Structure 1
Amino acid sequence: MLHKLPHEVIASILAATTAYIGSTALHLPPWAIFIGWAGTYLAGGPKLPVMKKLWAAMPAGSTFALIIILVMQYWGTALGSGYWGSSTMQALVILVVNTALMYTGRTKLFGLIPGMFFGFASMFATFYGGFGWDASNPFVAWISVIAMNALGPVYAWLAEWLAMPLGHVGREDDGDLRDAARMD
């Protein structure tokens, strides 16, 4: 059986392609791909059921972070503009929204809570890091981070698929991605 390039080389080539994503006029957060990529392996590897769970969980987490950002933008000084007032408001908002996130994780669709936190943290880093084509718009950051996080499982799948030996025909235990990405 002919062998392709080693997985380490394939993964590095794919990682290098993210330089082109972040260098566009859209100023997308390429590092968010790596969050989803690593999360894919942490959740069990690039298999369709794992990928679907992440594709549901990461945007949900980003949405909860968006809610916090919007509430803080509009009502962040409701308890005062000083340190104690704004910090107390932020703590209350995080308490309420994070509790909702955690309860949402009890549902089957959003049960991969770490995936929600990947999206949650990525959203804050995208918005406060000034990523997206309009760095002051939280909705632009939200769209940008959801797109980039979603590419992570795709990159994980590609890394496995491209590293497979030529002529691989798959086996019964290959799961939903027969003849494609498989973790040994």
Structure 2
Amino acid sequence: MSEVKTKAETKAEREYVIQKVQPALLGLMDGSVSTLAPIFATAGLTGRPIEAFYVGLAASLGAGISMGLAEALSDDGTVTGRGAPVTRGAITAFSTAFGGMLHTLPFLISNLQTALHLAYAVVVIELLVIAFIRYRFMKTPLVSTILQVIVGGGIVFVIGIFLGKLGA
């Protein structure tokens, strides 16, 4: 049996996506991608996982605060329908910090090679989850969103690795 959505259901779904999913996706993407270069460059430069962890922690929390404020201050939601600025800002801040911390946590492992390999795997999973969320909620074709997210994240990742090796 085919389910037909009412206008109210369609509007509620659209509001949920634009007021909750989009700020969360924005934060997750920024946190996951923008923290890659500093973390992996630090690991390459120092050879010490704990230093990469602290750089990742600082980058994740700093990015979370910055992105949360940017989202909350971008508009009050009345013209765009994007919802309450404090709610959007909080969602964006949390998801940015969360996205950055996921691949930072492996650097609590004292063996650099083990930490790096685990962090590589976490990055791939993060990028695939972002692609799936874009596919599911933003109706982006799965193959193109995977390519976009992997290529974008890959470029930042390679920059971090390159700079870490260059400076070491």
TM value normalised by structure 2 = 0.42
Query: Which entry has the higher C-alpha Rg, 1 or 2?
Result: 1
Q: Which of the pair is proportionally richer in helix?
A: 2
Q: Normalising by structure 1, what TM-score? A: 0.39
